[in-house]
Amino acid sequence: MPASKTARQRAREDITAEILAAARARLAEAGPGELSLRAVARDVGMVSSAVYRYYPSRNDLLTALLIAAYDELGEAAEAADDAVDDRDDHLGRWTAVCVATRAWSLTHPYDYALLYGSPVPGYAAPQDTVGPATRVIVRLVTIIVAAHQAGATSPVAPSIAPAGVEDAVADAIEFVRVLGNPEHADLPEITTRTIMAWTTIFGTLSFELFGHLVGSVSDYDAYFAQVISRLAADLGLPA
Amino acid sequence: MPASKTARQRAREDITAEILAAARARLAEAGPGELSLRAVARDVGMVSSAVYRYYPSRNDLLTALLIAAYDELGEAAEAADDAVDDRDDHLGRWTAVCVATRAWSLTHPYDYALLYGSPVPGYAAPQDTVGPATRVIVRLVTIIVAAHQAGATSPVAPSIAPAGVEDAVADAIEFVRVLGNPEHADLPEITTRTIMAWTTIFGTLSFELFGHLVGSVSDYDAYFAQVISRLAADLGLPA
DNA sequence: TGTACATCAGTGAACGCGCGTTCACTGATGTAC
DNA sequence: TGTACATCAGTGAACGCGCGTTCACTGATGTAC
């Protein structure tokens, strides 16, 4: 049981990754529901049955694909936040995460569609995908709550909304509390607004990538900048 | 050339519609990219080649599906607006359209995924789908612009955003002008905000239907009510 | 009203293709003594 | 260091299946005189 890997183990890891990469490339032409194991095998230069040594079925390959894409996006978003030197520049951190999320999405449109487009009929993502899937929103919430705890915010829009915010997003509020931000009077409002903003960001990316803004938006970069700036204002981050 | 239809013509229309309905039902199990003409034919009780008398190819059937679904959603949204007696109750009209849009989406999740989920690889929607696709946003813009022209609004959030709004959504602003609402000082801001709100609504529906709010939102009805109420406030509609 | 012809819906066979998965096999790599 | 055995990656054939589309056909419906 040596600490260094045997040639076999190294080869196995390489080829496992190679198959995954080939499958991701395939998504450009087929969509996850029509992803063909045989086509992937051909691209890798194997016979189709050989793929079963690495992924026990088509669905397991799909799961690996989801996790890889979620992790890559989460990684990009977190790295962008971490690269902001002034940790108290919450607006800068917010903007960095949003911009990085969009940049990854534009360069990986098929991965984006896998993650945020239509679910694959007959496929239910297993529990292992949950962690990777939450990385972006967790980071966004972290930034916004930090800003409010530092007091570096304008008051959020008065709650003219129907009562019952606490109930609507109870799960998320609980989550934020656990995140280690004990008490803040506006926590329900802040949480609701952050989830809304997150939804708007991905709604914007879906609309952009899936073609629904054709005829409305003329400059996508500028439009996205407008959106995240308004969202930041709605969240109480001062300009 | 009689004004009344022949039996053949009537039968043709019925069966064309029946095939379309069967295809929509199929979407529950397969997704548009894997939609099978043969399966549709079986459901209708025909031999697969007979479908070609009605739709010249699989892609034409897809197009018909898109148009039918967009029109049904547009119809539902417009009917909800039209049913509001007090035409000056802009908040009521806004809410009615949003609620109707969500109601249709929840009862037609597979049609929703067809319209707002991942595009079908290799399929480009033809021009005929554009009109039906814009019915909801056109109605939303109409309501918001009417509210601002009637002066029944709070001022919209001050434009703390980066300059250049006009350029980002130039196409939409032009469209609103053509809609017959000549001048309003805040037109660029109002237009941007309305497109953002539209994006948020469909982003919310996509997240709800595609499972991204599991673990965050505990009461979807209540959450949606919160969302559209905040959006209305952001758009200057008074409560 | 009746007949002759034209139109068209639906049939069934066929074309050429791709799919996921199983299985017995071979040959190379790794392990224990 | 050398040998015997175990592990495992990759092969190739096969199973049973479904797909979109074409084509010559039949029989019913519609039209013109």
For A58-104, write each residue's pLDDT tens digit.
Answer: 999 999 999 999 999 999 999 999 999 999 999 999 999 999 999 99
Q: Taking the C1' atom of C29, which residue's CA lies nearest?
A: A8
How far CA B161 is from CA of A164, B134, B155, B166, in Å, comes to 31, 27, 15, 12
How far CA A35 is from CA of A26, A55, B32, B146, B165, in Å, comes to 7, 14, 14, 48, 41
pLDDT at residue A19 above 80? yes
Q: What is the mean pLDDT of residues A158-167?
A: 63
Higher-pLDDT residue of A59, B185: A59
Chain B within 8 Å of A16 (Cβ-Cβ)?
no
The per-residue DSSP string of B3-23 comes to SSPPHHHHHHHHHHHHHHHHH
In total, chain A counts a number of residues equal to: 239
pLDDT at residue B177 above 60? yes
Share of chain A above pLDDT 90, in %: 77
Share of chain A above pLDDT 70, in %: 92
Q: Is the CB of A59 under 7 A from strand C?
A: yes
pLDDT value at residue B151: 85
pLDDT value at residue B2: 42
Q: Is the CB of A58 under 7 A from strand C?
A: yes
pLDDT value at residue B99: 98
CA atoms within 13 A on the CB side of A82: 7
**Residue B174 CA to its chain's centroid (Å):** 21
Chain A within 8 Å of B186 (Cβ-Cβ)?
no
pLDDT at residue A183 above 70? no
Confidence class for position B5, pLDDT limits 50, 70, 90: confident
Distance spanning both ends of chain A, measured CA to CA: 58
pLDDT value at residue A3: 46
A64-97 residues labelled b (16+ CB within 10 A) or e (exposed)? bbbbbbbebbbebbbebbeebeeeeebbbbbbbb
**Residue B36 CA to its chain's centroid (Å):** 25
Q: Please tell me the distance in Å from A162's CA to the nearest CA on chain B.
A: 7
pLDDT value at residue A220: 97
> Are A145 and A181 spatial neighbours (Cβ–Cβ below 8 Å)?
yes
Question: Residue A183 has which token pair?
Answer: 């008490």
Q: What is the C-alpha separation between B229 and A159, in angstroms, rounded?
A: 10
Question: Residue B4 has which token pair?
Answer: 């009344």
The per-residue DSSP string of A166-195 comes to HHHTHHHHHHHHHTT----TTHHHHHHHHH
Higher-pLDDT residue of B179, A112: A112
pLDDT value at residue B112: 98
Q: Please tell me the distance in Å from A189's CA to the nearest CA on chain B.
A: 10
Question: Residue B103 has which token pair?
Answer: 């109601």
- Residue whose structure tokens are 């509390």: A177
Predicted TM-score (pTM) of this structure: 0.95
How far CA A104 is from CA of A64, A71, A72, A98, B158, in Å, comes to 19, 12, 9, 10, 31
Q: What is the C-alpha separation between B190 and A88, in angstroms, rounded?
A: 32
The per-residue DSSP string of chain B comes to --SSPPHHHHHHHHHHHHHHHHHHHHHHHH-GGG--HHHHHHHHTS-GGGGGGT-SSHHHHHHHHHHHHHHHHHHHHHHHHHT-S-TT-HHHHHHHHHHHHHHHHHH-HHHHHHHHSPPPTT----GGGHHHHTHHHHHHHHHHHHHHHTT-SPPPPP--SPS-HHHHTHHHHHHHHHTT----TTHHHHHHHHHHHHHHHHHHHHHHHHTTTTTT-S-HHHHHHHHHHHHHHHTT---
pLDDT value at residue B158: 53
Inter-chain CB proximity A33 and B34 less than 8 Å: yes
Chain A within 8 Å of B62 (Cβ-Cβ)?
no
Q: Is the CB of B46 under 7 A from strand C?
A: yes
Confidence class for position A2, pLDDT limits 50, 70, 90: very low
> Per residue, what are the HEC states of A39-85?
HHHHHHCCCHHHHHHCCCCHHHHHHHHHHHHHHHHHHHHHHHHHCCC
pLDDT at residue B127 above 70? yes
pLDDT in tens, A184-229: 768 888 899 999 999 999 999 999 999 999 999 999 999 999 999 9
> Smallest Cα–Cα separation from A40: which of A70, A67, A69, A60?
A60
> Are B236 and B156 spatial neighbours (Cβ–Cβ below 8 Å)?
yes
Q: Taking the C1' atom of D13, which residue's CA lies nearest?
A: A49
| Apex B116 CA angle, A19 and A143, nearest 5 | 75
